[in-house]
């Protein structure tokens, strides 16, 4: 996908997220979101300050402050610290600038208030959250005219120089240098729309990101230092600044120390982690309540309330009545059908799924259920490397840190099975695992590589889509896939052991799902006609979905570990864990020739077809799907790659 296409997709995602937020609450909430988009970091105090300063006459309720910070638009990045996703923030600022009621003038007013607010905080508590205050001040300055924008750019450059040269006494370690460079590069990227007249700074930020994405010693930091100290595009000619002087400094090289790790060229990436903190299911209490809900949804979409005839149509649909009853009141069946057709289109757009007379009640109930789901979202960070197959197709492999965990399920876990006994402690060495299940595009690229042992069908899947997971592949096909990549790259690729898979899925959690005590179709693809624990019914999609499409990972940075597609593991099937290895290795019987193995292997994770209990972190598939030569539309796999060793 091109950068332009990706930007367009991110903008559309931002628009949908903002529209959902406004639709859930009130039109006035959009105004608060506009004003809260300018700061880089939000606190409850700051949001309250902005609402009181600018929106007292707009009838924005005080509870909107809490609703905004706890919504999908914001993620918690620290104690009482929240941040908007970059694409959401950019979209809101763009919309605010285009709004005739606000425009650039209001944005400058917000920036001036923000500048005064953070200056006051800095004086009040000189040692409190200085990095946050510094970032907020820069975010305000770039909107306060050319001179202030240049001054902000100059200060960011100075911080970069201090960090690289080691003159910042608070940053002594390589990890500290790396973290500060990442912070400064991220701030520059956030402010880049306002820093277009500062090309040297933008280029410097790009070079910083290049350094952070490599594990090799590179001269990029020295090049960056030369650019920063020799260029006068940023720091020269600023009124009130002393003349430019040259100075000498040492450059810190950032490296990662680990066995054979440099060959993997690890990069840093950020992701969103979701935890279900509570679900309070509520049923549609009456037809009148349903009409009110639909009226709010329609108004959020077209800013018009339901007409009398539309209310009658909704009442008939909720009560499972035909249109004939409404015709008694003077409306013809054809007229009612035409009105209903337009109404279903509006509701489909508002709810993001197809709505008609027969499913309206269930769709509205799901919407009500979703509104009761409390999901805590936070930002995570991990490292990964890219295996490039050419033609825009690559495989992203996430570094999984080594550690010890308890494998299997406790006796009091709901809907557990005996094959998850006995619980036992396993120590796993670090390895890399696919960020997503293998996609159909990746499968086709590897199927075109030289054969290792057996032929591969280039297009085996039932549910077609380049970025959907490949399915209808046997265990032997998955092993061949790994062998072809190993042969092509010189690295050791294979299927994960069952212990590695569960360790990676849990990512430090001990609950049935890495989401928490239950699961929702808002975050995963499974048969949500059934529930688990305190969960609510949701969407049963009856097919695979694009990998990563729910936008949330576990704490290790892995997507789609629950549902979407069952995943092959390397191990032979065993009825329980009596005698299982405790070192994280695959549990294989005597014959270690993989292509000669018979019988069942292990499937993990559950799929679009499965009830939620089969999607638990500890669940193991025991039916005929696990026969090694079986091919079904809910079975695929992801791969692992080991550091500094070869495991077969």
Render the burial of 231-254: b for 16+ CB within 10 Å, e for the rest.
bebbbeeeeeeeeeeeeeeeebeb
Percentages of the chain per state (helix, strand, coil), in multiples of 5: 40, 15, 45
Question: Which range among 36-45, 241-250, 324-333 shows the weakest confidence by mean pLDDT?
Answer: 241-250
Q: How confident is the model at residue 12 (pLDDT cuts 50, 70, 90)?
A: confident
Q: How confident is the model at residue 257 (pLDDT cuts 50, 70, 90)?
A: very low
CA angle 375–496–555, rounded 5-degree value: 25
Q: Is the whole model's pTM more than 0.75, yes or no? A: no
123 half-sphere exposure, CB direction, 13 A CA radius = 5
Q: Percentage of the chain with pLDDT > 70? A: 80
- With 60 as the cut, is the pLDDT of residue 240 above it? no
More confidently predicted of 647 and 600: 600
pLDDT of residue 262: 57
How far, CA to CA in Å, does 492 sit from each of 265, 485, 495, 496, 549? 15, 8, 10, 12, 28
- With 70 as the cut, is the pLDDT of residue 6 above it? no
**How many whole angstroms separate alpha carbon 43 and alpha carbon 184?**
20
Q: Is the dihedral of CA 517, 523, 524, 530 positive or negative?
A: positive
Q: How confident is the model at residue 383 (pLDDT cuts 50, 70, 90)?
A: very high
- pLDDT (tens digit, 9 = 90+) per residue, 512-533? 999 999 999 989 999 998 989 8
Render the burial of 376-414: b for 16+ CB within 10 Å, e for the rest.
ebeebebbbbebebeeebebbbbbbeeeebebbbeeebe
- With 80 as the cut, is the pLDDT of residue 246 above it? no
Q: What are the structure tokens assigned to 570, written together?
A: 């390397």
Residue 238, C-beta contacts closer than 8 angstroms, at least 6 positions apart: 147, 150, 151, 154
Looking up tokens 């908007």, which residue turns up? 84
Q: Percentage of the chain with pLDDT > 90? A: 35
**How many whole angstroms separate alpha carbon 254 and alpha carbon 217?**
7
β-pairing verdict for 431-434 and 81-84: unpaired
Residue 367, C-beta contacts closer than 8 angstroms, at least 6 positions apart: 293, 297, 351
SS3 of 197, please?
coil
pLDDT of residue 218: 40
SS3 of 20, please?
helix
Q: How confident is the model at residue 63 (pLDDT cuts 50, 70, 90)?
A: confident
CA angle 160–161–165, rounded 5-degree value: 120
SS3 of 482, please?
helix
Q: Are 636 and 438 in contact (CB under 8 A)?
A: yes
For 636, counting Cβ atoms within 10 Å of its Cβ (0-12 exposed, 13-18 middle, 19+ buried), the class is buried
- pLDDT (tens digit, 9 = 90+) per residue, 261-289? 556 778 889 899 999 887 665 555 555 57
**How many whole angstroms separate alpha carbon 247 and alpha carbon 224?**
15
Q: Are 385 and 265 in contact (CB under 8 A)?
A: yes
- With 50 as the cut, is the pLDDT of residue 403 above it? yes
pLDDT of residue 632: 93
Q: Which residues pair with 396 in a beta bridge?
A: 386
pLDDT of residue 136: 80
φ, ψ at 338 (rounded to 5°)? -65, -45
pLDDT of residue 261: 58
φ, ψ at 202 (rounded to 5°)? -65, -40
pLDDT of residue 287: 52
Q: What is the mean pLDDT of the chain?
A: 81
pLDDT of residue 171: 47
Q: Cα torsion at 603, 607, 610, 612 (round to 10°)? A: 100
Q: How confident is the model at residue 176 (pLDDT cuts 50, 70, 90)?
A: low
**How many whole angstroms separate alpha carbon 45 and alpha carbon 62?**
12
- With 80 as the cut, is the pLDDT of residue 413 above it? yes
Considering 179-183, 200-204, 499-503, 536-540, the range whose residues carry the highest mean pLDDT is 499-503
**How many whole angstroms separate alpha carbon 398 and alpha carbon 384?**
4
How far, CA to CA in Å, does 596 sit from each of 479, 599, 621? 12, 10, 22
- pLDDT (tens digit, 9 = 90+) per residue, 150-170? 888 888 888 888 777 765 545
Question: Which range among 59-73, 183-197, 226-240, 289-303 shows the weakest confidence by mean pLDDT?
Answer: 226-240
φ, ψ at 178 (rounded to 5°)? -60, -45
Enumerate the H helices of 217-359 as residue ranges.
220-230, 287-302, 308-318, 324-327, 333-351
Q: Which domains occur in the chain, in start order? A: 1-127 (no CATH), 145-232 (no CATH), 279-373 (no CATH), 389-642 (3.90.1580.10)
Average pLDDT over residues 341-355: 80
**How many whole angstroms separate alpha carbon 158 and alpha carbon 165?**
10
pLDDT of residue 125: 54
**How many whole angstroms separate alpha carbon 425 and alpha carbon 407?**
6
Average pLDDT over residues 101-120: 83
Query: Which secondary structure element, helix H or strand E, spans residue 368, and what is its range?
Result: helix 360-371
**How many whole angstroms separate alpha carbon 489 and alpha carbon 505?**
26
- With 70 as the cut, is the pLDDT of residue 19 above it? yes
Q: How confident is the model at residue 229 (pLDDT cuts 50, 70, 90)?
A: low
- pLDDT (tens digit, 9 = 90+) per residue, 439-469? 999 999 999 999 999 999 999 999 999 999 9
3-state SS record for 414-426: CCCCHHHCCCEEE
């Amino acid at each position: 996908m091109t950068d332009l296409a990706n930007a367009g997709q991110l903008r559309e995602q931002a628009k949908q997220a903002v529209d959902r937020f406004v639709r859930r609450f009130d039109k006035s909430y959009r105004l608060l979101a506009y004003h809260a988009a300018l700061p880089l970091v939000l606190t409850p105090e700051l949001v309250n300050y902005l609402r009181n300063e600018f929106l007292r006459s707009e009838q924005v309720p005080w509870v909107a402050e809490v609703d905004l910070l706890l919504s999908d638009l914001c993620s918690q990045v620290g104690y009482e610290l929240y941040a908007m996703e970059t694409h959401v923030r950019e979209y809101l600022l763009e919309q605010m600038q285009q709004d005739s009621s606000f425009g650039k003038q209001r944005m400058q007013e917000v920036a001036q208030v923000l500048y005064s607010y953070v200056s006051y905080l800095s004086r009040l508590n000189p040692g409190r959250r200085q990095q946050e205050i510094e970032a907020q001040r820069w975010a305000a300055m770039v909107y306060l005219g050319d001179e202030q924008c240049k001054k902000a750019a100059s200060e960011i450059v100075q911080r970069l120089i201090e960090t690289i040269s080691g003159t910042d006494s608070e940053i002594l370690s390589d990890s500290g240098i790396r973290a500060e460079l990442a912070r400064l590069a991220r701030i520059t990227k956030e402010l880049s729309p306002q820093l277009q007249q500062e090309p040297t700074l933008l280029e410097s930020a790009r070079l910083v990101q290049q350094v952070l994405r490599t594990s090799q010693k590179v001269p990029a930091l020295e090049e960056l230092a030369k650019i920063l100290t020799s260029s006068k595009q940023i720091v020269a000619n600023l009124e009130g600044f002393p003349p430019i002087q040259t100075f000498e400094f040492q450059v810190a090289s950032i490296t990662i120390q680990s066995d054979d790790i440099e060959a993997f060229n690890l990069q840093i990436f950020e992701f969103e982690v979701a935890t279900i903190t509570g679900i309070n299911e509520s049923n549609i209490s009456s037809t009148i309540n349903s009409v009110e809900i639909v009226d709010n949804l329609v108004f959020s979409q077209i800013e018009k309330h339901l007409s009398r005839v539309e209310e009658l149509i909704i009442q008939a649909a909720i009560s499972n009545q035909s249109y004939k009853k409404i015709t008694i009141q003077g409306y013809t069946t054809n007229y009612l059908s035409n009105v209903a057709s337009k109404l279903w289109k509006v509701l489909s757009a508002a709810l993001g799924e197809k709505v008609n007379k027969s499913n309206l009640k269930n769709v509205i109930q799901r919407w009500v259920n979703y509104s009761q789901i409390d999901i805590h979202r936070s930002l995570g960070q991990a490292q990964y490397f890219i295996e490039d197959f050419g033609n825009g197709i690559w495989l992203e492999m996430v570094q999984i840190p080594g550690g010890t965990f308890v494998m299997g399920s406790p006796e009091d876990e709901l809907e557990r099975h005996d094959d998850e006994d006995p619980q036992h402690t396993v120590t796993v060495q670090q390895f890399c695992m696919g960020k997503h299940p293998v996609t159909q595009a990746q499968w086709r690229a590897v199927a075109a590589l030289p054969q290792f042992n057996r032929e591969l069908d280039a297009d085996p899947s039932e549910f077609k889509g380049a970025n959907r997971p490949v399915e209808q592949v046997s265990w032997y096909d998955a092993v061949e896939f790994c062998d072809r990549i190993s042969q092509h790259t010189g690295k050791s690729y294979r299927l994960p052991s069952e212990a590695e898979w569960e360790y990676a899925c849990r990512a430090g959690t001990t609950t049935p799902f890495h989401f928490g005590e239950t699961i929702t179709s808002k975050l995963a693809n499974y048969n949500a006609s059934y529930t688990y624990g305190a969960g609510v019914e949701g969407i049963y999609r009856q097919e695979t979905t694009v990998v990563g499409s729910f936008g949330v990972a576990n704490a290790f940075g892995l997507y789609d570990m629950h549902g979407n597609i069952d995943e092959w593991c390397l191990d032979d099937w065993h009825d329980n864990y009596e005698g299982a290895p405790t070192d994280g290795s695959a549990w294989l019987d005597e014959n270690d020739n993989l292509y000669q193995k018979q019988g069942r292997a292990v499937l993990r994770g559950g799929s679009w077809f499965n009830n939620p209990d089969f999607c638990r972190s500890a669940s193991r598939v025991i039916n005929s799907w696990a026969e090694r030569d079986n091919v079904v539309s809910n079975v695929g796999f992801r791969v692992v790659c080991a550091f500094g060793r070869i495991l077969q």
